Amino acid sequence: MELKSPVSGVKGIGPKKTELLSRLKIHTIEDLLYFFPRKYEDRTRVWTIMEAPFDRDVLICGRVVSKKLPGNPYLKKAPMRVVVEDNTGAVELVFFNARYIAGQFQVGEEYTLFGKITLNKGKRQMAHPEFHRTGEKDDVRGILPVYPLTEGVSQHQMRSWQAAALPCAKDIEEWLPNHVVMTRHLCSPSYAVENIHFPQDARRVKESRYRLVFEELLVLQTGLFYIKKGRSSQSEGIIIPKTVSVQPFLDRLPFQLTEGQKKVWKEIEADLAAHKPMNRLVQGDVGSGKTAVAEIALFKAAKAGFQGVMMAPTELLAKQHLASLRRDLTPLGLRVEMLSSSTKAKERRQLLSALEQGEIHVLVGTHAIIQPDVKFHKLGLVITDEQHRFGVNQRALLTEKGQNPNVLVMTATPIPRTLAVILFGDLDISVINTMPAGRKPVKTHLRYNDSRGKVYDFVASQVAEGRQCYVVAPLIEESEALDCRSAEELFEEISAKYPKLRVALVHGAMKQQEKDSVMERFAAGGIDILVSTVVIEVGIDVANATVMVIENCERFGLAQLHQLRGRVGRSSLQSHCILICGKESEVSAKRNEIMVNSSDGFTIAEEDLKLRGPGEIFGTRQHGLPELNIADLVKHVDVLEEVKEVALDILEEDPYLRDGENQVLRDRVQKMFGENIQLQL
Ligand code: ADP
Ligand code: MG
């Protein structure tokens, strides 16, 4: 058996198990060995029966003093009972439907047992423990790995296969540069693999895990840098000199820029004037005024003779941008147009030709603007709004429409810096950390089902004062399976209870056109209460809306709740966010507390990350981020920092990973990223 042999060579793995394992992406012995335990069961400590804690797995040793089979063999329900004793006390083992076990216990012999002890009417009991005759070669003792398994494979099987494959671990050769191994104090990969499966103590687990996390993150980081470098070619970017004044634009703005906006604008201005193309991510909480900053950049690019493009994730958002860009830029002599998938063919043709002639200064649109026939005359600035909704590749395609244009990415999803480094790699990061003056922080209230009546009376009272409200539900229609509110149900209820109010419904299953028309009516003040699903989450801006009611708030992610809350509080009016909690659990209580007490998107994002992990939040797939096997982007941030340097060093010396000594790294990168990466030969 060798590392590259198929797993079917392991005793006990037949065609059926081979199939099951392939679902876990395990094909070779090497794959098997790199399938790591999720945690361990510590079975090193032998407890005395009296001292063993209750309700948690423990290992005990004792002599069988009696065993009792159910009197009536036809009465299957009666359990078999075995009493075991040590010097300190006795425990009764209970086995249901397991008569066959009776023969495996001999009175007078000593056994090692592993399971939970519970106290039942003053009697210690252990139900269905794992057991073995003490002294026999057994798998009950030691530190045992626990694997993340698929159905049809048991822990016991996986352990025995790993044990069978383990001798091959010694063939795993060191593949990291010697100085890295030395300076980072890494153990060898063969040691790491052996000890991650069957460690003798916690220290070895720690050493091994560190090595394996390190190498996994190194592969990840190297791949990401490689991809990024391929995109941002070395040649010069487009320079938009400092001397081009944006004063005419600023003079027309109805407000002063906030400190945060000024700071970020300075950073952008410097990027634009530099030789290297700009590659900047602007983060700012909802309502912090990112769009205004983007507009200044677009104005400046146009004044310098370049076209700009702004891509938004939905048609509605694109329209909103179009409206504000036209309001702010058209009077200054710039032509702003919009392109989306609903643009009519004839109009589209005219638009594309004007764009190619350079007659259009700013193009706004949805992903429809990525299409190959959309050509610019001189593209100088690419802006994507709400970036987390786009794949990395979409941004790249847009960038390719110009000759190294400047790139600005705007996101309202506060991404903790640590993670932003991975997700956006070499992007420089700016944060707008202030809110426009005069905004009152949104008041957040937590309520339960029993006060829903009052909540809606409050909503009605706000409407009576001329305000508008959002009501968000987790589902579109009622569901038998899920015990929570649906938008349709709420829509009916609210319409019936408040017949005089103008109530409307919008959800994701509606046609885009219908959705847009409802949203537009709401924005124009023609709707008092908008009942919806999360479709309203992104970007819409209605200053008169002052109440956001979120039903079954426990069903939403923290970051999502924060985004939803950001839909209100967009003026000097006092706004409210009312979270109605349907079912409280420990996690939801913690989340509710965070929401009520914090209005800072970054704090909320960090907490969300801790509660849910990065994969769930960012849909890592979408980012082209591969799944990780042992490393955790949150827990292992410090390792990530170390790895970054190493990856940069390696790529500096060997940009295409062609050196023989980087062969394994190259293979691993290829394997991790699959078709998302094209390594050059
Ligand atoms: P974001 O995109 O960051 O959520 P927007 O750019 O949509 O925020 O801005 C939200 C609202 O605040 C808009 O109506 C905008 O006109 C307004 N706004 C932006 N900057 C300022 C400012 N410095 N002072 C006052 N209002 C501002
Ligand atoms: Mg915005």
Cα separation, 217 vs 343, in Å, equals: 44
Is the beta carbon of 41 within 6 A of some atom in ligand 1?
no
pLDDT-based confidence at residue 43 (cuts at 50, 70, 90): confident
Least confident interval from 62-71, 250-259, 358-367, 542-551: 62-71
pLDDT-based confidence at residue 397 (cuts at 50, 70, 90): confident
Angle at which helix 417-424 crosses helix 202-231, to 10 degrees, equals: 50
Q: Which of 542, 574, 598 is the last residue of a domain?
A: 598
| Contact between 424 and 416 (Cβ < 8 Å) | no
Cα separation, 679 vs 669, in Å, equals: 9
Is the beta carbon of 436 within 6 A of some atom in ligand 1?
yes
**Which is the closest atom of ligand 1 to the Cα of 566?**
4
Nearest alpha carbon to residue 142 among 227, 205, 209:
205
**Which is the closest atom of ligand 1 to the Cα of 290?**
3
Query: Which ligand lies nearest to the CA atom of residue 290 in the structure?
Result: 1
At 215 the three-state DSSP class reads helix
Cα separation, 459 vs 450, in Å, equals: 16
Dist. CA 255 → ligand 1 center (Å): 9
Report the DSSP beta bridge partners of residue 200: none
* Structure-token pair, residue 326: 């036209």
* pLDDT at res. 60: 93
pLDDT-based confidence at residue 528 (cuts at 50, 70, 90): very high
Query: Which ligand lies nearest to the CA atom of residue 313 in the structure?
Result: 2
Cα separation, 615 vs 631, in Å, equals: 12
Q: Do 530 and 555 lie in a common domain?
A: yes
* pLDDT at res. 566: 87
Residue 647 domain-assigned (yes or no): no
Q: What is the pLDDT of residues 48-97, one digit of tens each?
A: 999 999 988 899 999 999 988 776 656 666 788 999 999 999 999 998 87
Q: What is the pLDDT of residues 479-505, one digit of tens each?
A: 666 677 889 999 999 999 999 999 999
Is the beta carbon of 288 within 6 A of some atom in ligand 1?
yes
Residue 204 sits at the vertex; the CA angle it makes with 203 and 208, to the nearest 5 degrees, is 120
Dist. CA 5 → ligand 1 center (Å): 61
Residue 40 domain-assigned (yes or no): no
Q: Do 252 and 356 lie in a common domain?
A: yes
Is the beta carbon of 552 within 6 A of some atom in ligand 1?
no
| Residue nearest ligand 1's atom 13 by CA | 289
CATH assignment at residue 487: 3.40.50.300
| Residue nearest ligand 1's atom 20 by CA | 289
**Which is the closest atom of ligand 1 to the Cα of 293?**
6
* Structure-token pair, residue 33: 């060995």
Residue bearing tokens 């040649």: 235
Is the beta carbon of 286 within 6 A of some atom in ligand 1?
yes
Residue 423 domain-assigned (yes or no): yes
Is the beta carbon of 647 within 6 A of some atom in ligand 1?
no
At 616 the three-state DSSP class reads helix
Count of domains forming the chain: 3
Q: What are phi and psi of 445, to 5 degrees?
A: -125, 145
Q: Do 318 and 349 lie in a common domain?
A: yes
Residue bearing tokens 């091959």: 168
Q: Which of 576, 598, 620 is the last residue of a domain?
A: 598
Ligand 1 pocket mutation, candidates 263, 541, 571, criterion most atoms within 8 A of CB: 541
Dist. CA 570 → ligand 1 center (Å): 8
* Residue range(s) defining the domain that contains residue 502: 443-598
* pLDDT at res. 270: 95
* pLDDT at res. 642: 87
What mean pLDDT do residues 501-518 have?
88
Is the beta carbon of 412 within 6 A of some atom in ligand 1?
yes
What mean pLDDT do residues 191-195 have?
97
Dist. CA 286 → ligand 2 center (Å): 7
* Structure-token pair, residue 609: 């990350």
Residue 200 domain-assigned (yes or no): no
Burial of 397 per CB tally in 10 Å (0-12, 13-18, 19+): middle
Alpha-helical runs (H) found in 62-197? 155-165, 178-183, 189-197
What mean pLDDT do residues 121-125 have?
91
Residue 566 domain-assigned (yes or no): yes
Residue 414 domain-assigned (yes or no): yes
Residue 644 domain-assigned (yes or no): no
Q: Which of 74, 109, 140 is the last residue of a domain?
A: 140
Q: What is the pLDDT of residues 407-431, one digit of tens each?
A: 998 887 766 666 676 666 667 888 8
β pairing state of 468-472 and 529-532? parallel
Residue 378 domain-assigned (yes or no): yes
Q: Do 465 and 572 lie in a common domain?
A: yes
Ligand 2 ion: residues within 5 Å (CB): 291, 539
Query: Which ligand lies nearest to the CA atom of residue 567 in the structure?
Result: 1
